[in-house]
Amino acid sequence: GQNIDQPTEMTATEGAIVQINCTYQTSGFNGLFWYQQHAGEAPTFLSYNVLDGLEEKGRFSSFLSRSKGYSYLLLKELQMKDSASYLCAVKDSNYQLIWGAGTKLIIKP
Amino acid sequence: ETGVTQTPRHLVMGMTNKKSLKCEQHLGHNAMYWYKQSAKKPLELMFVYNFKEQTENNSVPSRFSPECPNSSHLFLHLHTLQPEDSALYLCASSQIKGAGGNTIYFGEGSWLTVV
């Protein structure tokens, strides 16, 4: 079956750096997405990786290794507003999005 | 403001009621989706419409009935639901269904409680 694994919950300190990992086993690969979802709000798009390597976008970066079936989302200079759930999703060979259950990130002062 | 609006934001209904969720996208997209989000579970894709035509129905019980009158509007009709159907229902849209990095944009969801 197809599977996306990410930690259920993580805690980090304001101003610090946190890395949220995502591993996947899917039938084919056509890209990996990260979304941010604040409580009670819509998931919003953060990043898309289809080639190996690091994509940087301000304080957020996303890394992909297709050979390892692995991605991470790196958040720098953490702010309280970064407290949210982070969803990893992979497009399989049929261009279906397979979703992880999300990682709840708690930022402490 | 996400470009995808859903109403109502909150709905409480009895198991014998009939209600509908509404979604409208203002992004000019041609694919629309219904997802179910339950606590600590992955998003579950329910239905997909491309150019108003339903292309996927992921084994969703018939008590959920989608309707897509045009590429900007999507409804989810609810009838004789069960308490386990209580969840956040998310509508989404994208430019096309499949290829490449076409990003899916979500509405803020409709919180459904079945009593």
Per-residue confidence of chain B (115 residues) as pLDDT tens digits? 569 999 999 999 999 899 999 999 999 999 999 999 998 889 999 999 988 777 777 789 999 999 999 989 999 999 999 999 999 999 999 987 555 568 899 999 999 999 9
pLDDT given at position B6: 96
Strands B31-37 and B10-13, by their bridges, are: unpaired
Which residues in chain B have their CB less than 8 angstroms from residue A48's CB? 101, 103
Nearest residue, CB atoms, A95 vs list B40, B42, B97: B97
Number of other CB atoms surrounding residue A3 within 10 Å: 13
- Is residue A100 within 8 Å of residue A6, measured between CB atoms? yes
CA distance A84 to B70: 34
Q: Diameter of chain A by CA atoms?
A: 43
**β-bridge mates for residue A90, sequence order:** A32, A98
**β-bridge mates for residue A108, sequence order:** A13
3-state secondary structure of A81: helix
Burial B74-97 (b: 16+ CB within 10 A, else e): bbbebeebeeebbbbbbbbbbeeb
Q: Which residues of chain A have pLDDT under 50?
A: none
pLDDT given at position B57: 74
CB pairs under 8 A between A and B: 49
**Residue A101 C-alpha, separation from nearest chain B C-alpha, in angstroms:** 4
